[in-house]
Amino acid sequence: MAKIRIIPRLDIKGPNLVKGIHLEGLRVVGKPEIFARHYYEQGADELFFIDVVASLYERNSLDDIISNTAKEIFIPLTVGGGLRTLDDIRKVLRAGADKVSINTAALKNPNFISEAALKFGSSTIVVAIEAIKQPNGKYFAYTDNAREFTGVEVFEWAQKVVELGAGEICITSVDNEGTGIGFDTELIQGVSNLVNVPVIAHGGAGKKEDVLNLVNSVDVNAVAIASMFHYDYLNNGYNHDHIACEEGNLEFLSKKRKVNAFSVSSITDLKEYLKINNISIREINN
């Protein structure tokens, strides 16, 4: 089997790393560059940055963070959030991103996927799908960090984005995101069954067992994780003086509140755990 990629996901608002629940209620966690370096040292297989308010305010504030990161962190960097034009993509690639993630712009204009894939190659284009389960059991895709309903059914959309040239899909369960209750395996398997491109599962990892359960039961290539790693680093080693905040809710940080649903884990611990359970992962022997 191919190795499961473990991808820390860094949600960025302005100069800060933030974290929410269901992609909302964002709280400042710390300085993204310091988290990125920590995750690199710990054996992250890739980093996934999203400017979580870019679509809302139509701005791209990630470029500086990415170009600083790319100078000394030599693993793939995927960057998304508010990328609407080929020029926006070119700019983040020039800043040092290897792949871009698009969601809102793709749903507004699906041909944007083809144009981007043609211009930059399919393997550069990740389509992010933010899924919310409806009362009738169907999953629908949302945009703008799950604020806007699109009426597009997730499984149909997943097939379509691959036809249009997406090289990878990141599927987020908005219902589970930030909660630590585990992955939505039905959603992720549903998407994975329908496409032949790599699938990144995101939303819900609360403990190591959730990741093991996912990779044992669903055909996925990668797992994106935020809270579990962020809270681990906050509790173990992060220097809390490093806050680059000019904005945001800092109360969470100052109180060092514990989040009960999460049994925190470092990347090293998680990989060790997966390895002893016979899951193929990339080991680093520095």
List, by residue number, the catalytic residues.
Answer: 11, 130
**Which string of x and - marks every residue 236-255 that binds another protein (by CB under 8 A)?**
--------------------
Q: Strand runs (DSSP E) across 31-160, as ranges? A: 47-51, 77-80, 99-102, 125-133, 139-143, 148-153
Q: Quick check: 222 binds another protein (CB under 8 A)?
A: yes
Please answer whether residues 55 and 82 qualify as being in contact, where contact means their C-beta atoms are separated by less than 8 angstroms. yes
Instruction: Give the three-class secondary structure for 20.
Output: strand
Please answer whether residues 23 and 177 qualify as being in contact, where contact means their C-beta atoms are separated by less than 8 angstroms. yes
Report 35-74 residues binding another protein (CB under 8 A). Answer: 40, 43, 45, 70-72, 74
Distance CA 118, CA 125 (A): 10
Q: Quick check: 278 binds another protein (CB under 8 A)?
A: no
**Which string of x and - marks every residue 128-167 that binds another protein (by CB under 8 A)?**
---------------------------------------x
- 49 - beta bridge partners? 10, 79
Residues 6+ apart with CB under 8 A from 204: 173, 176, 177, 179, 180, 181, 182, 183, 184, 210
- Number of shown-chain residues binding another protein (CB under 8 A): 37
DSSP conformational letter for 81 = S
Q: Quick check: 197 binds another protein (CB under 8 A)?
A: yes
CB of 200 to another protein, least distance (A): 10
Q: Exactly one of 219, 249, 251, 277 binds another protein (CB under 8 A); which one?
A: 219
Q: Exactly one of 123, 150, 213, 263 binds another protein (CB under 8 A); which one?
A: 123
Q: Quick check: 97 binds another protein (CB under 8 A)?
A: yes
CB of 210 to another protein, least distance (A): 21
CB of 235 to another protein, least distance (A): 25
* Residue located via tokens 């994780």: 225
Q: Quick check: 33 binds another protein (CB under 8 A)?
A: no
Which of 120, 230, 110, 205 is closest to 160 using CA atoms? Answer: 110
CB of 99 to another protein, least distance (A): 9
Which of 190, 142, 196, 141 is closest to 168 using CA atoms? Answer: 196
**Which string of x and - marks every residue 164-183 that binds another protein (by CB under 8 A)?**
---xx---------------
| Binding residues for another protein (CB under 8 A) | 1-3, 5, 40, 43, 45, 70-72, 74-76, 93-98, 120-124, 167-168, 196-198, 219, 221-222, 282-286
